[in-house]
Structure 1
Amino acid sequence: MTEQPVSHEDVHGAAERIAGRVRPVAVTPADAEVAPDAEVWFALEFLQHTGSFKARGALNFTAAHAAAGRMPDAGVLIASGGNAGLACAWAAARHGVPAQVFLPVTAPEFKVERLRGLGADVRLAGRTYGEALAASRALAAETGALTSHAYDHPLISAGAGTLLPEIAAAVPGGVDTVVVAVGGGGLYAGVAAAAARHGIGVVAVEPENCRALNAALAAGEVVDVPVDSVAADSLGASRTSRDALAWAQRPGTTSVLVTDAGIATARRRLWDDHRLVVEHAAGTALAALTTGAYKPRAGERVAVVLCGANTDPGTL
C-alpha cells in the first residue's frame, strides 16, 4: 500500500492504460418513483466484461505490471469471493498468462464454473475470504506468482475509479452524487478519488451486517467486522481498505446502511420494473434510495451504480 490513498492522478493514469479495452459505461434514467424529487440514473456497469466493474481494476493491475516487466511466468494469483477472480482470470488471459483463483468453499457454483470457463485454475479453500486469502499467499510464496487483491491495492482501486468520469460524461448535465455499494472498498476508494476532483458527492452503501467501512469510520481505524448478508458473496469483506477509510474520512462521502430485506426488495424491483437481473450488491446501492437511507435533495442528480450481475436469476 502507498502512504497516500489512491488519487485522481492514479485514476487518470488507469484510464489511459485501459482505454479501448473495457466497455464504456451505459446509463439510463430510473423511474421517477425511485426518488420523486430527484433525477436518478442507473449506471449499467454490470454490462462490463466478466459482468462487473472488477474488470477495470484487474486489467489496470495486469497491464501496469506487464508494462513494467514485472509479470512472472507463474502468472497472477488472487483470492476472491467470485467477481474479482473472474476479472483477474479475464485480464490474465488478455496478457497470455495463467491465473490461479482461490475462493471460499461457499462461493456460488455458477461463479466457479465461469472461472473455469475463463481458463482459471480454481482452488477452493476455507469458508471465508480471509481463509482463502491465507491459502493463496502460501501458494504464491512457493510459485512466485504475482499476487493481486480483490480490492486492497492502488492499481485495483484506480482502475475501478475510471467508472466515475465516464458516468459524469454520460449523464446529460452531469451528476451531483454517485451511489455505490461497498464491500472491501476498492470501487468506493477509486470513485471517491475521482469524484473529489469532479466536485461530486459519494454515497457509500453497505448491508447492516457487512459494514466494514461504516464500522471503520465509527472506530477511526480499520477494524474486523462479522459478515452476514444476502450480499455477502460480493460485499462480504471482513475489513475495509485503508484507502477507503482515508477517503471516507474526508468531506464528500455519506455512509449509510441498509437491511437485507431492503436489498432483496430493491433487486427484485430492478427486475419487475426494468427487467434487469443484477446481483445483491447492485440491489444494495439502489436500496439506499428505495429504503430512504439516503434522501436526495430536490433536483439532485443521482447516479446509482449497478455494479454487477453475476447471479443466479432463479434467486429472484
Structure 2
Amino acid sequence: MDWTTEINAAAMRTAGHIQVTPVMQSLGFGLDYPIEMKLEQMQHTGSFKARGAFNTLLSQKVPAAGLVAASGGNHGAAVAYAAHRLGHKARIYVPEMAGPAKIALIRDSGADLQVVPGAYANALEQAQTYERETGAMQVHAYDAPGTVAGQGSCFAEWQSQGLEADTVIIAVGGGGLIAGAMAWFQGAKKIIAVEPETSCALHAALASGAPVDVEVSGVAANALGARRIGAICFDLAQQNHRDDRLTSLTVSDAAITEAQTALWRERRLLVEPAGATALAALTSGVYRPAPGEKVAVLLCGGNIAPDPLG
C-alpha cells in the first residue's frame, strides 16, 4: 500500500472536521533535556481517535443500517461524534471497564450505546455479531487501512508544524496510532513503542514473532487494553524492528501514574493514564536518549475517569 498517498488523502479529506492540535516544547519532568509534545488530548472527544473515525466515514459509503464499533471508550466516542456530525446512526459496544467518564461521553453523543461485561475483545465480538446480522458498517478501532491512514494524518500534521525530533515516543494499544506513525515516517524517525507491563500486545507479538493473545489489566487498560495487536501494525512493526527503527518498551502502572501527575503539576495538562504512558518511558528512565538526541512525545488522550469537573 502507498501509505504516503493514503495519509495525505486522509489529511485533506478530514480537514475541517478535526482539530489541528498544538505542539509545545518543554523542559522539566526531572529530565535534563528538552522534549517536544503534541497535545492530541485536545482533539475532538479527547483523543486522536477522531482522525481515523472521520477518515473512515468520509472515504466509504455508509449503509442504511449505519455504523457499528467496539471500543475501550475513546474510539467509540470518536465514532459516535463523527457519526452525529455526518448524520449517520451508530451503535457502539464498550466493556464495563471503559469507565463512567467514557461511557457518558459516548451516551451524550446520541449513539446507541451497549455496555457489555468483560474487556475490549468481548465488545468486539458483539459488534461483529451485530455487523453480520444488520449489515452495519464496522469501524475498527485500529486494524483497518482507513483507521491507520487517519491516525497517520496526526504525524503528517506534526511534521508540517516543524517536528525536528530524531525519536518519537508513542503509547500502544491495538496499534492504529503507531501504525500510522510508521506508515508516515517510513524509517525517517526512530519510533519508541511504549506499553503498560500488564497490557503489552505489541511487545509480546514481537517477542513471539507473530500476534498472540495477552492478558489485559492495569491503569491504562480501558485505552491500551487490546488483547492482540492489529495485523497492520504488526507487519509494519516487524520491518521497522528488524531495521532498528522501532524499539518496544514496557512501563509499570506506577510509572504511568507518576507521569500523569507530573503533566498536571508541571504543565497543567490533564491526561488519562494512556495519555501519559509515552512520557512515562522517559520519566521512569526505561528509555534514555543518547547525548544530543532530540525526543518528541505524543500525548494521546485526556478522558480521565472520573471527569475532574463532572
Fold shared per TM-score above 0.5:
yes
Corresponding position of 1:100: 91
Paired residue type of 1:79: A
The answer on whether the counterparts of 1:183 and 1:212 sit within 8 Å (CA) in structure 2 is: yes
Do the aligned partners of residues 168 and 298 (structure 1) sit closer, same or farther apart at CA in structure 2, a change above 3 Å counting? farther
Corresponding position of 1:285: 278
Corresponding position of 1:179: 169
Displacement, 1:27? 0.7
The answer on whether the counterparts of 1:189 and 1:247 sit within 8 Å (CA) in structure 2 is: yes
CA distance in 1, matches of 2:125, 2:103: 19
SS state at 1:13 partner: helix
SS state at 2:98 partner: coil
The answer on whether the counterparts of 1:52 and 1:309 sit within 8 Å (CA) in structure 2 is: yes
The answer on whether the counterparts of 1:53 and 1:307 sit within 8 Å (CA) in structure 2 is: yes
SS state at 2:91 partner: strand
Deviates more, 1:297-306 or 1:201-210: 297-306
TM superposition outliers: structure 1 runs of 4+ over 6 Å:
none
Match of 1:217 among 206, 209, 214: 206
Corresponding position of 2:27: 31
Q: Encode CA deviations 1:13-68: one digit per residue, 9 max, x unaligned.
A: 211211222111211112245531x4301111111011100000000000001xxx
Match of 2:269 among 266, 272, 276: 276
Give me the TM-score of the superposition, normalised by structure 2.
0.94
The answer on whether the counterparts of 2:29 and 2:262 sit within 8 Å (CA) in structure 1 is: no
Mapping of 1:59-208 within 5 angstroms? Answer: 59-65=54-60, 70-171=61-162, 174-196=164-186, 199-208=188-197
Q: Encode CA deviations 1:241-263: one digit per residue, 9 max, x unaligned.
A: 11111121222111111011100
Matched, 1:237 2:235: no
SS state at 1:273 partner: helix
CA distance in 1, matches of 2:173, 2:69: 17
Displacement, 1:156? 0.4
Corresponding position of 1:297: 290
Match of 1:21 among 17, 22, 32: 17
Match of 1:8 among 4, 15, 19: 4
Q: Encode CA deviations 1:157-191: one digit per residue, 9 max, x unaligned.
A: 110111112222324x6221111100000001011
CA distance in 2, matches of 1:256, 1:79: 26
CA distance in 2, matches of 1:157, 1:217: 19
Percent of aligned pairs with the same residue?
43
Paired residue type of 2:17: R
Give me the TM-score of the superposition, normalised by structure 1.
0.92
Q: Structure 1: any 5+ residue segments left out of the alignment?
A: none
Corresponding position of 2:217: 228
SS state at 1:135 partner: helix
- Equivalenced residue count is 304
SS state at 1:192 partner: helix
Q: Encode CA deviations 1:178-235: one digit per residue, 9 max, x unaligned.
A: 11100000001011111226x1111110001111000000111010000111100100
CA distance in 2, matches of 1:14, 1:7: 10
The answer on whether the counterparts of 1:76 and 1:97 sit within 8 Å (CA) in structure 2 is: yes
